[in-house]
Structure 1
Amino acid sequence: MSEPGATPGMAAIAGRWAAQLTGDNGVPVPAAELERALLAVAEEARAAAVAAKDAAELRLATLYSASPFGVALVDQDGRVLDVNPAFTKLLGHTIDDLAGTDIGTLGATPKDTTALHTGFAELRATGTTRQREQLDLEHALDGPLRTYVTIAGLPGNSGEALHPILIVEDVSELSLLRDALRRQNVQDPLTGLPNKSSFVNKLETSLAQPDDDQIALVYFDVDGFKVINDGLGPGAGDQVLRHVAGRLADVFAPSGAFVARLSGDGFAVLMRGDLTSADVVDLVEETMTELAEPCYVDGKGIGVSVSVGIVVQAANGGTTQEDLHRAAEITLHRAKESGRAQWMLFEAGLDTRDRRRYGIGAVIGGALENGEFELEYQPTVKLDGSNEIAVVNAGLRWNHPEHGMLSGEEFYPLADTTGMTLGLGRWLLTKAMSDAARWQAEFPSAPDLCVRLPTRLAIDPNLVGIVRDELKRTGLPPKKLRICTDSAALVDPRGEVLETITVLAELDVKIALAVAGGADLELVNTHKLPVGFVILSGPHVEALAGEGEQAEGARKHLGALLERAGELGITRIGAEGVLTAEHADRLRELGIVAGRGDLFGNAAGGSGITELIRSSRAT
């Protein structure tokens, strides 16, 4: 008999088990007592199960309410039963708005609605969960919202169908970020033009087309952009770049051209079709005219000029995008080297020459490290008939493994561009002083060493320290060293050449000045330079070797220079470029005491000049 308040089913079960245990197994306990014990155990087990179930339901309810993802409970017909708070916040709908509505109505487009219906149909038919599909759902106020949607089913009791649910994740911000990153991959954020990557892709596509069109590649570079940035700030520089981008687009876009910003202050235009070089040049000149109008930034009118490199050729000529890019770059460099604010048209011959030049300049650093540079010495000989070597002039030459022996005129301008001039100049100075110290040790009356410094070394603030250290290391007497400079170094605003020359003179180093005209000589007077020697060069020295009016004019000009030098207290005057004995006689008659050039032989290496000094001293 059931205990009062006991569950009837549970009491009947306990009674059957009590009867079986006392009857079959002979448990020595009265059946009623055993029944009560079994009933107590069963009730305890049942209470634990109910508690566990309640706890699970509580956890599920908490998860449902607190989930950051929107969750909608749906019936078997695909109608909304309930939604969690995140769902209403996500889509702006209340539970009252959604209850009983078809889940498909949440789709922002027919495609999204179909995807929702299909997902729930598959769930009902096969129990298959549809995982993380990107769909646009309709927000109550803001319109379509980009989301990830998962359609799943929660298991029911035994024999029951799955309970459908819709889980929604907001990925609109992530989608916007991806779109922004995608734009950054193809678009310049400052100007809005396509970027370099996009331009390269466009160029490759254009070259791959099979027709017989012409293709034009035009590179623009803003002249003096660093002045704008440093003088007015990067904000002004940015506005100028946007201004240039706008003008390029205005002029070229109507022609179907592809305009892009490559990097920094560089822009490019790609054209393809039935076009000629003249067509492209006309557009370039129109652009330059447009840019000539000042760009106003904070009330300041900024003048903008550009250098332009233009390449026009057959699109199907077998040229790769790398070759075309390189040709445009080199043509642009040629325009900048020729004075900026102008355009240059690609020429195959000049391109070959420039590629050779730039190839040489690119490897100067490695060549210096690998010992490819060597000193060359040229004697300056007294013009009094004694043929005594008064000075040995040191210079550099490059024994290039591919191009043979290169002179300083061929590589110094490239070294200036690559920043290697300082390294070359230091090596020249230290190696030449070491050689000169050996001559002095062997020949008590050995000639002076004269080093013509490249401008970059002449303006280097460490020059005095370098010379002082080398004098100490080599033991070369300071008075046997002449440092030769020129007007370019004296007026260069980057260094303190005037102070350096004064300090070197105080060390007893002799100072020589290369002079081509009266303005160069007047620097001695203007800056009170401690110059002891003047070296004349240039067209007037060359003209003196000829005949007629040119020679007579050169004589008068050089005579005036020597007279002015005498007034400045400079009497030791030499000349370079002496061609013949008659030329030397004419220079001597004017008062020039020494000269160097073809008359006195070619330049020699270290051993060669040593032999020349030895033979000179022997006679």
Structure 2
Amino acid sequence: MPEPGGAPGLVDVVRRWTAQLADTDGVGLSADRLEELLHQVVRDAVATAESAREAAIRRFSALFSTSPMGIALAGPDGAIVEANAALAMFLGGKPEELRGRHVADLGFTRRDAERLRTGLEEIAVTDVEQYSERLQLTHADDAGVWAEVTLTTLPADRPGVSYPVLMVQDANEVHSLQETLRHQSVHDALTGLSNGSRFNTLLETALSPAARDQIALVYLDIDGFKVINDGLGAGVGDQVLRGIARKLKDVFAAPDTVVARLSGDGFGILLRGKLQASEVIGLVERALEELGEPIYLGDHGIGVSASAGIVVRDVAEGGPEDLQRAAEIALHRAKEAGKAQWMLFDPELDARDRARYRLGAEIAGALENGEFTLIYQPTVKLDNHEELAAVNAGLRWHHRELGQLDSAEFYPLADTTGMTIPLGKWLLTRSLAAAARWRDRYGDAAPDVCIRLPRRLAIDPDLVRLVKDQLDEHHLPARTLRLCTDSASLLDPRGEVLESLSVLSDLGAKLVLTVSGTADLELIPRHELKVQHAVLSGGVVEALADSPDEAALRHLDQLITRARELKLRIGAEGVVTAEQAGLLRAHGVLAARGPFVATSATDDEVDDMIERHSG
């Protein structure tokens, strides 16, 4: 009898089962007949199995050939046996060109090839069912293409044997999108420079315990950039910022250097390696010079100036916060020194500044705790030094550790910490209260109170209401209050100081203008100010101290003549000696203050002076 299905060993199986079934009681078939029937059963079973296997092969072949996913079948050694059209197209070739190549050889770089080789080893010797990685594969044009790669296995015909399968999906768009998002997350969208987040991360890395050599940090701010934005528009401003970024990248082009945009018009530069302060300063000077060269946008040639703060130190000297703080302080000093220049961080200056800043931070508490008092500069009439014309009110701070501090020692700090307005309001209210007390006690012999308003208080919208409320509360006529200002305040481009002074003048307060030349006096008619008093100050008074020359006296006479034309009462400040006071009186000055009378006076001392005059 022929072997059913041609399968080796199948006849023996049929005969063994035939013998068993034939030997069973109740079976009426002969062994030959039973064997024939079993052969038919086996042939049907084999045919069914072959059909299912062929169908599975056809389905796999269709999936393999038509799949949009690139697929390669490899032998146990990793060499490609078959590749589908999708993989060949993705790699820019034909399927037959991939046959025989090792799967790892498809990697674009050595690192990509090692990752493929590692994946093959993992799925071969471990229980890992698949290995997935995003990497670059080699394209036919010698470029790299990004792919999501999956390695897995298919079982072979023999038990325990499997074949590697490579599956590839195009990841170029996803990778490009992710790279774009990553780039945007660490770079400034306008200039393409690193942003503040990346800059801080790199700074922390540069100061890690393993770092060596030196590090330099440069903070650079564009001076007056608001003028460009407001004058030419934000679009022009953006183009200028891009031009600034290009110039900075050109100057700071070393491999271990990072340039970042940290704020609207603020930039940071980080340098690492074996650095000398002179080298870094040279680069900064070159950058400032390059920025000054015009950037031409249409008809506009726009150049900018910049201020820079520089810190150069060993990496072991402090952390990121210390370095950033030092750069900020150096930048602040550069701006205070007049802008358009650089400043190198100086630890000794920093120590002094720390003490100053601590003082500024204590002002609010000191005001609340009653550590401030009024101090006065008496202004006397030059025809009778015993008679007070006015007192200029100021502040004195009785510091618990440093003793008595005059306003020049803390007012600039108050301006920085935002305490100028609270101090100014305290000065105004207490001064008017003192004026009311003197007026109640001494009547017409009481002096006027003169207050120099800090600029921030002079433009405060609540100032007029505050003055009126205080005058009403103390039943004071407005003429007892003198408000002193100078030409710099009057030249405020927004005119806010002028507006406040005009309103206060309309209430009845007297306006006092300190002058050092005729140009200051000309501000009065130009702005139609209701100024009653002009106070000579500065060089015009100092020139009269020791044997004044004819030019000094001629200048004095010109000022007094013009002041009289404007119907002003003329005073002087900073008068040191009685001789100087006498000379001023001889030329027409009516009143003066300074060391020839008293450098300062307390409330009680002012009371004594008033009492002596009032008899």
Give the TM-score normalised by the residue count of structure 2: 0.72
2-structure distance, mates of 1:366, 1:131:
66
User: What pairs up with 1:177-192 in 2 under 5 angstroms?
Assistant: 179-180=179-180, 183=183, 187-192=187-192
Matches within 5 A, 1:240-255: 240-253=240-253
With over 3 angstroms needed to count, the CA separation of the structure-2 counterparts of 1:586 and 1:549, relative to structure 1, is closer
Q: CA deviation at 1:170?
A: 6.1
The Cα of 1:479 is off from its aligned counterpart by 2.0
Q: Is the 8 A contact 1:127 1:153 kept in 2?
A: no
- One-letter code aligned to 1:444: G
CA distance in 2, matches of 1:560, 1:427: 39
Distance (whole Å) between structure 1 residues aligned to residue 343 and residue 481 of structure 2: 45
The verdict on how the C-alpha distance between 1:325 and 1:116 changes in structure 2, with shifts beyond 3 A counting, is closer
Equivalent of residue 586 in structure 1, options 574, 583, 588: 583
1:204 lines up with 2:207 in the alignment: yes
The answer to whether the 8 A contact 1:103-1:116 is kept is: yes
- Hey, what's the Cα distance between the residues in 2 that align with 1:115 and 1:347? 52
**AA paired with 1:385?**
N
Unaligned 5+ runs, structure 1: 1-56
Structure 1 residues 386 and 409: alpha-carbon distance in aligned structure 2, compared to 1, 3 A threshold:
closer
Q: Secondary structure at 2:443's aligned position in 1? A: coil
Aligned to 1:535: 535
Cα-to-partner distance string for 1:566-594 (whole Å, 9 max, x where unaligned)? 22112x32222232333333333333232
Q: Note if 1:489 corresponds to 2:478.
A: no
Q: How has the CA–CA distance of structure 1 residues 319 and 417 changed in structure 2, closer, same or farther, with 3 Å as cutoff?
A: same
Unmatched tracts of structure 2, length 5 or more: 1-55
- Decide whether aligned partners of structure 1 residues 403 and 229 sit closer, same or farther in structure 2, where only a CA change above 3 A counts: farther
Q: Who is 2:560 aligned against? A: 562
Q: Residue deviations 1:181-222, cap 9 Å, x none?
A: 655576555444455326624753699526xxx776554332
- Sort the Cα spacing of 1:175 and 1:615 in 2 relative to 1 into closer, same or farther, 3 A: farther
Aligned partners of 1:141, 1:398: CA distance in 2, in Å?
A: 80
Alignment partners' CA distance in 2, 1:140 and 1:236: 46
Aligned to 1:377: 376
The DSSP-based 3-state class of the residue aligned with 1:391 is strand
Matched, 1:518 2:521: no
Q: Aligned to 1:444, what secondary structure does the other structure show?
A: helix
For residues 352-404 of structure 1, the C-alpha deviation after alignment (integer angstroms, 9 at most, x for no partner) is 54554455456655655665544322222233326132222222334455654
For 1:415-564, list aligned pairs within 5 A. Answer: 415-445=414-444, 446-544=446-544, 546-550=545-549, 553-564=551-562
Distance 1:396 1:291, change over 3 A: same
Indicate whether 1:603 and 2:600 are aligned: yes
1:8-27 per-residue CA deviation (whole Å, 9 max, x = no partner) reads: xxxxxxxxxxxxxxxxxxxx
Q: What pairs up with 1:159-308 in 2 under 5 angstroms?
A: 172=172, 175-176=175-176, 179-180=179-180, 183=183, 187-195=187-195, 196-197=199-200, 200-201=203-204, 204=207, 208-209=211-212, 218-253=218-253, 258=257, 260-261=259-260, 263=262, 264-268=265-269, 270=271, 273=274, 275=276, 277=278, 281-308=281-308
- 8 Å contact kept, 1:260–1:267: yes
Contact 2:359 2:410 in 1 (8 A): yes
SS in 2 for 1:500: helix
Q: Deviations over 1:428-460 (max 9, x none)?
A: 323322333343344433322211112233244
Q: Deviations over 1:199-248 (max 9, x none)?
A: 624753699526xxx77655433222221222223333333233333334
> Once the two structures are superposed, what CA deviation does each residue of 1:143-193 show, in whole Å capped at 9, x if it has no partner?
65545555567999xx99999877767665554455456555765554444
Contact persistence 1:461–1:495 (CA under 8 A): no
More deviation in 500-509 or 189-198? 189-198
What RMSD over aligned residues (CA atoms) do the two structures have, in Å? 4.8
Shift in Å, 1:296: 0.8
Does the CA contact (< 8 Å) of 1:219 and 1:267 recur in 2? yes
Q: State the alpha-carbon separation in 2 of the partners of residues 70 and 500 from structure 1.
A: 78
Residue-by-residue CA offset, 1:455-481 (whole Å, 9 max, x unaligned): 233244543233223323443321221
Q: Which moved more, 1:124-133 or 1:586-595?
A: 124-133
When residues 253 and 152 of structure 1 are mapped into structure 2, their CA distance, relative to the original with a 3 A threshold, is: closer
SS at match of 1:334: helix
Distance in structure 2 (CA, Å) of the matches to 1:126 and 1:344 = 63
Q: What is the DSSP-based 3-state SS (H/G/I as helix, E as strand, rest coil) of the residue aligned with 2:384?
A: coil
Q: Secondary structure at the match of 1:470?
A: helix
- Contact 2:218–2:311 (CA<8 Å) still a contact in 1? yes
Q: 1:114 to 1:385 in 2, by over 3 A?
A: closer
C-alpha distance in structure 2 between counterparts of 1:433 and 1:82, whole Å: 97
Provide the TM-score with structure 1 as the length reference.
0.71
> Structure 2 vs 1, CA of residues 173 and 421 (structure 1 numbering), >3 Å: closer, same or farther?
farther
Query: Which aligned pairs between 1:314-353 and structure 2 lie closer than 5 A?
Result: 315=314, 318=317, 322-345=321-344, 350-353=349-352
SS of the aligned residue for 2:581 comes to helix
SS at the partner of 1:129?
Answer: coil
Report the alpha carbon displacement of residue 538 of structure 1 after superposing the two structures with TM.
1.2
- Alignment check: 8 A CA contact 1:459 1:494 kept: no
**Structure 1 364/92 Cα, relative in aligned 2: closer, same or farther at 3 Å?**
farther
Tell me, yes or no, if the aligned pair for 1:203 and 1:321 is still in contact at 8 Å: no
Please report how far the alpha carbon of residue 492 of structure 1 lies from its aligned counterpart in structure 2 after TM superposition: 0.7
1:69–1:167 contact (8 Å) kept in structure 2: no
AA aligned opposite 2:585? R
Q: Offset at 1:617?
A: 6.0
Please list, as runs of the form range in 1=range in 2, the aligned pairs for 1:16-55 lying within 5 A after superposition. none
Q: Distance in 1 between matches of 2:147 and 2:286?
A: 49
Q: Cα offset for 1:513? A: 1.6
